[in-house]
Structure 1
């Protein structure tokens, strides 16, 4: 085993510290004027962060609820621009804006005009300014794009309804026979029906056979709209409901359509990236099991992993059952790689369509905050391309299944204590989920024990170490698949080039001991005060509840 001086000094300091507090406790001593507060999350000194955002972490923003720049109670694009320094400091390298187009709803997925900015959010010039300012901070901007349907107020649909001979008639699915999920045409050809899988207010677009979809009027119109945004500097798109573009979600039709859409726009994107990226960024919402989802990698380079990654991690946190999580991720990634070797696995804890992560892991239960810290640590040390939903870094609550539905998970961001927060949108009159038990950015920023600073710390680690940012994942050689011992602990290697890190998480509310062997170079970082003892290359960790530690290992 090779120790360096830094390792010995930290070991001595760590052993002294562990005797001063009850095992597993994590008191907040307050800011240390001699040390950046984010570095106080860990008792070890990681490699200094050089400012490069290697990790490519994205941050999801519901503009209506993020930041209000003009005092009208509604979040806007200028509000997002004003908070770019916050996002830059957090360490994100990209932002995903939920639909910003003209629409007829709060959510924005019923698009009226794909190239017009919702006046509630500002102007086209505001969007262009946001993109330019984001690029100055090396932050990409991607827009939510809706290929499955439009608003029933879209000029395309209004014209299509007027006559069976309308040039827009083929943009949608019409029939003179009523079917499940079909609705009577509201005007014009009222003896006809149209398809609207999600709602009567959102008629489905029709691209014809997937083999020739690029020749359809709807495909050309939608592609032209996307090119409009690329020419305005936008870096890519999140595609909504990609499994619903064609009726059969398990046929080759949807991946075929997606491949043509991506390929055509990628060609248009070439040479236009202000940040020097070779390809456009395009990620699909594909809520499916692993094997079915993998087929969609034939169409897109990136997909959100809803079931295998997020569901399994939340299960691990709620059931103290973490040991097999890395093994499951390795197996899943092998399935993806068989379809697309350069696949991007977009990971997240929750988003605008789901109950908030804190609610999922315990809600008002006292453990929910510690579980959220652990969820953040796993998200930012495991494989994948992480996304953070706004407010998740503060520990927002929100149950989508409760009265209020979507509004429960789209409440306004908390910048300062409510009484003095002039930037907080007020469009929702009742904000029950965030008014209690959630500290604002200003308050949490002052506490090394806050969830916000846990996110900042682990984002900094992921951006600093290539092995965390983009490295491979592997099980440690001592992993025993048949044993349930240490089931509350997950351990895995992350490697990139000559850099090898060992990551260990205790996801339970119980202190435990964990033994491993290997050539440790130095501890890199921890959370919640992990102590350890070593004899030769044998090591024993004393892991408090909801604790993590990362070691730099000797790479052979």
Structure 2
């Protein structure tokens, strides 16, 4: 028995409640122990009766990554004061695993000192599932490049022809009314969630350098246009999530300009992180996003900044009834602020979703007190390694998929935003050598993963594009140039998500006979995706 591989942590991703009377427990072991016949049982009971009364349940092996195996049990309980230990059996020898580690015997007389416990399930500590997320298929729109809807607006800012290759600073003219115009197209495609890149007042085409958070950029429309967009989207069963850029702002923001002018005398001086009395834009003596001096970092530890940003977060729920926020550069903003943000947003709209931008293991932010999920770039990388780079075979891909599932609680996995590409990456179709069969297979796998699939606009048309800004090309609305056969295949894959098995089903990902098998099961029904190569899959 490899005791160094054993891991269980109470009140963590290894032990968490799904509701007031249902819990999930996980035990990590060495992969080789699981493959050599290790059996795991749970010996559990009520905290105050455990010495005299205990129950036993088998804990099945559920997941295997490169090094470890994970045994998992989902258990209904009658008393929320829950305690337990694990019993491990290998080669006809029995071991016990408790807070004392791995032992060959266990003394129930002294159990109060070393059993694992979930001491009490307080209802407000249970991470709720945003119930509409597992059944949603999202569509990310880079607003300037999707569709021009308002033909009467001031077009003087547009400096590229629709369809030309974009530059970092070019404007094509897409707007909110263009999205309203295409809602029926999105509904027909099977989309039930839209995520927009920023829409607030900014000098750039991407709008990630915001000047005024309560003003819709005139290039995109008006507050009334956003209200109409949300209303019309809701009428079609489509929810809308906006981009919250709260890590940084524009140097043109009123508060930053006041600091430039008045230095430490400005009441906004501590809204930013400045080395010195005055903000020096030319020499950049302040913290910013990446190395961009045009995007000074907001000090989210400052109570006045917190109040300002929380007001914005709830303002757009009040005004436009948006359905949630995607949080830009979420991992560089203080956890303390995100805790306040969650309470404010959920108090205003309990089923609003909060999706962080974090390209890595974001477990510290995904424990129920901050974000519901993240943009699942770890999944993106797994897909690139298998479909594009060919550096992982089917077995390795299965291991990596299981590994990212074990990063988080079950609720989080079922709210993940699973994407192949975005405005920040090379287009997936370009990365895979413009192979439509590979793209189709990757979309199929995305539809089978727990969480919400997210298509970057134009994926259904196999849109090309290298890294930013080329990944932000204009959508081609000339239907005569569409590949209708591929579009129908994408529609049919999206339609699969209407099946409750793919929304709420348990998941098993296994490698068998050099194939990736993603198996979803729910209420006695099963759907299986078998991928035998990057260009070949079967659904049954």
Q: TM-score, normalised by structure 2?
A: 0.67
Q: How much does 1:268 deviate? A: 1.8
Q: How much does 1:475 deviate? A: 3.7
Between the aligned partners of 2:195 and 2:539, the Cα distance in structure 1 is 30
Q: Counterparts in 2 of 1:326-475, with a 5 A limit?
A: 326-337=398-409, 344-363=415-434, 368-400=435-467, 406-416=468-478, 440=481, 443-445=482-484, 447=485, 450=486, 452-463=487-498, 465-475=499-509
Between the aligned partners of 2:414 and 2:448, the Cα distance in structure 1 is 18
CA deviations over 1:101-146 (Å, ceiling 9, x no partner): 1101111100000010110111111111101000101111111110
Which of residues 293, 316, 320 is equivalent to 1:229?
316
Say whether 1:281 aligns with 2:391: no
Q: Counterparts in 2 of 1:46-195, with a 5 A limit?
A: 55-71=135-151, 72=155, 74-163=173-262, 164-176=264-276, 184-185=280-281, 193-195=285-287
Say whether 1:258 aligns with 2:338: yes
Q: Which residue of 2 aligns with 1:501?
A: 527
Say whether 1:310 aligns with 2:388: no
Between the aligned partners of 1:240 and 1:230, the Cα distance in structure 2 is 18
Q: How many residues align?
A: 383
Q: Is the 8 A contact 1:112 1:151 kept in 2?
A: yes
Between the aligned partners of 1:133 and 1:82, the Cα distance in structure 2 is 10
CA deviations over 1:268-311 (Å, ceiling 9, x no partner): 22xxxxxxxx42111010022x3xx222213211111213x111
Q: How much does 1:374 deviate? A: 1.2
Compared CA separation, residues 54 and 300, structure 1 to 2 (3 A): closer
Between the aligned partners of 1:397 and 1:388, the Cα distance in structure 2 is 14
Q: How much does 1:177 deviate? A: 8.7
Q: How much does 1:342 deviate? A: 7.0
The alignment yields a C-alpha RMSD, in angstroms, of 2.4
Between the aligned partners of 1:342 and 1:355, the Cα distance in structure 2 is 25
Q: Is the 8 A contact 1:54 1:466 kept in 2?
A: no
- Secondary structure class of the residue paired with 1:95: strand
CA deviations over 1:320-355 (Å, ceiling 9, x no partner): 7223434432332222128x7676222100000000
Say whether 1:492 aligns with 2:518: yes
Q: Which residue of 1 aligns with 2:539?
A: 550
Q: How much does 1:468 deviate? A: 1.3
Between the aligned partners of 2:219 and 2:403, the Cα distance in structure 1 is 45
Q: Is the 8 A contact 1:297 1:343 kept in 2?
A: no
Compared CA separation, residues 123 and 92, structure 1 to 2 (3 A): same
Q: Which of the pair has the greater relative contact order for Cα pairs under 8 Å at 6+ separation?
A: 1
Compared CA separation, residues 341 and 94, structure 1 to 2 (3 A): closer
Q: TM-score, normalised by structure 1?
A: 0.65
- Secondary structure class of the residue paired with 1:378: helix
Q: Is the 8 A contact 2:508 2:519 kept in 1?
A: yes
Structure 1 portions without partners, runs of 5+:
1-51, 246-253, 270-277, 401-405, 418-438, 509-545, 552-556
Q: Which residue of 2 aligns with 1:219?
A: 306
Greater strand content: 2
Between the aligned partners of 1:492 and 1:122, the Cα distance in structure 2 is 43
